[in-house]
A and B are shown apart, each in its own frame.
Chain A
Amino acid sequence: MEEKVKDTGTEEKQDYIINIGPQHPSTHGVMRLVVSLQGETVKYVEPHLGYIHRGIEKMCESLTYPQIIHLTDRMDYLSAHINNEVFCLAVEKALEIDIPDRVKVIRTLMSELTRIQSHELFWASYGMDLGGQTCFFYGLRDREMVLDIFEETTGGRMLVSYNCPGGVMYDLHPNFQKRVKEFLTHFRKVLPEYDEILTNNVIFHERTVGIGPLLREEAISYGITGPSGRASGFSCDVRKHEPYSAYDRVKFNEVLYTEGDAFHRYLARVEEMRESMNIIDQLIDNIPEGPYAVKMKPVIRLPEGEYYQRVETPRGELGVFIISDGNKTPYRVHFRTPNFANLSVLNHLVKGFKIADLISIFGSLDYVIPDIDR
């Protein structure tokens, strides 16, 4: 214990300190939480980052723009397509290219499928964090269908790397529409099952309702975006406020709650899956004909300047900031990742709750660790 005290510096000697992570079943990755306990009650939490830092931003400075896209996959691996998309959108914005309608619709469809599979994994792992192991298998069973759709069209299941500046890499697979519709029919059938096993479970309510409440003002000041922010009533959906791709032509609701506790963060994600299905419904039969990519120059050079683009990933607002000096590689790339901002609120939320609630709160914020460290 002595060493730990020196290590983190801030805590008192009498504190009972346990390390959750770097290898721990509920951190979903190599994340270390130094938790100071009083009995079972959490006094404070100190997240330690950097176990999976790969220097993606620095690596970007020595890679060309099409190459960087394949790095963005590896940040938030559950929203690989959306990460690709934000970078492509930034490059296209800089080059002032008009993107064909078909590309926009394809990107939107893929983004929403990505959102569904990411939230499904959230649902699955959140259930498992709270001890309901069956949820994990149900969630993964249905997520598999989305991954199969990805595989057919893009060749990749999780890290799809489907976007390229100016469009997408390949056209949609002929089966795409059929498979997506099959998935939607299936998923509409199993979502009530999800509610039965977890959402309406009384123990689940006990474990999440009123746990880790986050006020709207706090959400804004900490920069909590995505479903976690919207559960606190912070309207922060980039798809609504600053529509990109084909989001301006679809109707959907921004899922907003005011309670801001773990249960509503969970509920916001489940409802978002329903909204995503609505978006897909509106687009799946109206994919415009046309080219799937704009012909680009073999070497892409961005004009000198600074460019920023943001999108809505399943976990919140992802922004990319590119400074170009006119070369084929960027001068500097910065990613504003949602998980990093969302992590900042953890200590504030868990203070005074039990150690089991720490897991519940940590799970409800839906972290993807490589996205925090980059």
Chain B
Amino acid sequence: MLTSFGIINYLSAQSGPWWKVFYDFTSLTKNIDASLHNTMSPFWTTVTELVIVGVLFILFYAVIGLFLVYAERKVCAFIQNRLGPNRIGPYGIFQTVADLIKLLFKELIPIKNADHFLFNLAPYIVIIVNFMVLAAIPYALGVHAIDLNIGIFYVIAVSSMSVIGVLLAGWSSNSKYSLLGAMRSGAQIVSYELSVGLALATVVVLAGSMQLSVIVEGQRTGWFIFKGHIPAVIAFVIYIIAGTAETNRGPFDLAEAESELTAGYHTEYSGIKFAFFYLAEFINMFIVASIAATIFFGGWMPLHFGANNGFNRIMDFIPPVIWFFGKTFFLIWIIMLFKWTFPRLRIDQLLTLEWKYLLPINIVNLLVMAFIVLMGWHF
């Protein structure tokens, strides 16, 4: 109610047409904040704002999750010469909703001899970690829940916590398949975390800041993948590979490895707890893609070359929200193509790829980038 109050206030105060809000959310959020301050004490304002943001994020999480599951099935069907979901709703768009309802009503099978506390805790850890990362991503101008000055550092630190959930799930299930899957996942995520971190650090060197809003703003005169030319492209390729590995998706889905470990660490989970893991995987993919979009492709920043020319102004007509989600979903599409094209790696090959190839290349790349920035050879 209060929010709608704020929105109405804001809209009536606006001089331009209502859709102007999509270009800049800053004044909208400021308006809501101001109207809340008018009606209640600062403490309750903060509480209300937290609740509003929380609810919005839960909604956003669910919508993105459902959409990605649907998108994955359609992309996979497209590659595999199939139709994919096409029965429920036009083009099967409500298929995932139906699946979700099914999963909600399914029985949660209690596992004998499992460590029940940890078993139940594990899916929530994975989900909570997801939320914590989602909060730090700038979705559009002014749509940014927390803008930490160590934004990238925070994202890396928090997202590596999801391995705890996976390990707990595998350990507490008291199943041998699960344990093997969890151990693989542990080795995998911990290793690839390094590459993700170093690839992002390469761009941090170029941007000169860890704050995500500053990084996005720094790309007003050109995205970093163009500005940083060769080292940035190498960093992007490494990031996409390592990011795919970090989300436990094919060809790096060893933790699940259907043909080896049936379902890996979540073999013993059923119903909505399984759905949490399933959803977390998709949201992880979204996170990886959105971070890549933010760091390398300018986040919500439209495609700009140089400063203040006609081309930039034409690009500015497309709202930042569309830029952000367009880039993110394009990268998600690429990650999906990986999964449906490549066979799976073996665990030792996976670790070899990381420690013997990606990591050395990454370190050299970081030095090259530092040198380039030092010499001012970037655009």
A interface residue numbers (CB < 8 A to B): 16-18, 24-26, 40, 127-134, 136-138, 141, 197-198, 201, 203-204, 206-207, 354-359
Q: How far is the CA of A359 from the CA of B348 in the complex (A)?
A: 15
Q: How far is the CA of A37 from the CA of B341 in the complex (A)?
A: 30
Residues in chain B near residue A127, CB distance under 8 A? 343
Residues in chain A near residue B180, CB distance under 8 A? 18, 40, 355
Please state if B177 and A131 are interface contacts (CB–CB under 8 Å). no
Residues in chain A near residue B262, CB distance under 8 A? 24-25
Residues in chain B near residue A203, CB distance under 8 A? 251, 342-345
Residues in chain A near residue B39, CB distance under 8 A? none
Is the C-beta of B378 less than 8 angstroms from some C-beta in chain A? no
Is the C-beta of B22 less than 8 angstroms from some C-beta in chain A? no
Please state if B259 and A129 are interface contacts (CB–CB under 8 Å). yes
Question: Known contacts A25-B262, A26-B259: does B80 contact A137 (CB below 8 Å)?
Answer: yes
Interface size on B, residues (CB 8 A): 28
Residues in chain B near residue A207, CB distance under 8 A? 343-346, 349
Please state if B253 and A131 are interface contacts (CB–CB under 8 Å). yes
Is the C-beta of B260 less than 8 angstroms from some C-beta in chain A? yes
Question: Known contacts A18-B177, A24-B262: does B79 contact A130 (CB below 8 Å)?
Answer: no
Please state if B80 and A134 are interface contacts (CB–CB under 8 Å). yes
7 A-B interface contacts by CB (under 8 A): A18-B180, A25-B258, A130-B344, A132-B341, A133-B340, A137-B81, A198-B343
Question: Known contacts A16-B176, A203-B344, A203-B345: does B257 contact A131 (CB below 8 Å)?
Answer: yes
Interface of B is mostly: helix
Q: Which residue of B lies closest to A198 (CB)?
A: B343
Q: Which residue of A lies closest to B176 (CB)?
A: A18
Residues in chain B near residue A134, CB distance under 8 A? 76, 79-80, 340-341
Residues in chain B near residue A201, CB distance under 8 A? 342-343
Please state if A137 and B343 are interface contacts (CB–CB under 8 Å). no
Known: A133-B250, A358-B260. 13 other contacts (CB 8 A): A18-B180, A40-B180, A40-B347, A40-B348, A128-B259, A131-B253, A131-B344, A132-B344, A134-B79, A134-B340, A137-B82, A206-B346, A207-B344
Please state if B346 and A133 are interface contacts (CB–CB under 8 Å). no
Q: How far is the CA of A357 from the CA of B343 in the complex (A)?
A: 13
Residues in chain B near residue A128, CB distance under 8 A? 259
Please state if B343 and A356 are interface contacts (CB–CB under 8 Å). no
The number of inter-chain residue pairs (CB within 8 angstroms) is 83
Q: How far is the CA of A203 from the CA of B241 in the complex (A)?
A: 14
Q: Which residue of A lies closest to B187 (CB)?
A: A40
B180 CB to nearest chain A CB (Å): 7
Residues in chain A near residue B341, CB distance under 8 A? 132, 134, 197
Q: How far is the CA of A252 from the CA of B266 in the complex (A)?
A: 49
Question: Known contacts A40-B347, A133-B340: does B251 contact A355 (CB below 8 Å)?
Answer: no
Please state if A141 and B81 are interface contacts (CB–CB under 8 Å). yes
Q: How far is the CA of A131 from the CA of B345 in the complex (A)?
A: 8
Contact partner, B346, options A18, A141, A197, A354, Cβ 8 Å: A354
Q: How far is the CA of A204 from the CA of B346 in the complex (A)?
A: 10
B126 CB to nearest chain A CB (Å): 22
Question: Known contacts A128-B259, A138-B81: does B176 contact A357 (CB below 8 Å)?
Answer: no
Residues in chain B near residue A359, CB distance under 8 A? 259-260
Contact partner, A130, options B80, B82, B259, Cβ 8 Å: B259
Q: Which residue of B lies closest to A132 (CB)?
A: B343
Residues in chain B near residue A25, CB distance under 8 A? 258-259, 262
Q: How far is the CA of A359 from the CA of B27 in the complex (A)?
A: 58
- Which B residues from 72 to 117 make CB contacts under 8 A with A? 76, 79-82
Contact partner, A354, options B76, B253, B340, B348, Cβ 8 Å: B348
Residues in chain A near residue B345, CB distance under 8 A? 203, 206-207
Please state if A26 and B343 are interface contacts (CB–CB under 8 Å). no
Return the 7 tightest CB-CB contacts between A and B, nearest first.
Answer: A131-B344, A137-B80, A132-B343, A130-B343, A26-B259, A356-B346, A18-B176
B173 CB to nearest chain A CB (Å): 13
Q: How far is the CA of A17 from the CA of B347 in the complex (A)?
A: 19
B241 CB to nearest chain A CB (Å): 12
Residues in chain B near residue A17, CB distance under 8 A? 176
Q: How far is the CA of A355 from the CA of B177 in the complex (A)?
A: 11
Q: How far is the CA of A128 from the CA of B342 in the complex (A)?
A: 10
Residues in chain B near residue A198, CB distance under 8 A? 343
A132 CB to nearest chain B CB (Å): 4
A169 CB to nearest chain B CB (Å): 34
Q: Mark B182-195, 1 if CB is under 8 A from A, else 0.
A: 00100000000000
Q: Which residue of A lies closest to B177 (CB)?
A: A18
Residues in chain B near residue A356, CB distance under 8 A? 254, 257, 260, 344, 346-347
Q: Which residue of B lies closest to A196 (CB)?
A: B341
A274 CB to nearest chain B CB (Å): 22
Contact partner, B343, options A16, A18, A131, Cβ 8 Å: A131
- Which B residues from 330 to 367 make CB contacts under 8 A with A? 340-349
A278 CB to nearest chain B CB (Å): 27
Q: How far is the CA of A110 from the CA of B184 in the complex (A)?
A: 46
Q: How far is the CA of A24 from the CA of B257 in the complex (A)?
A: 12
Q: How far is the CA of A138 from the CA of B79 in the complex (A)?
A: 10
Q: How far is the CA of A17 from the CA of B179 in the complex (A)?
A: 12
Q: Which residue of B lies closest to A135 (CB)?
A: B343
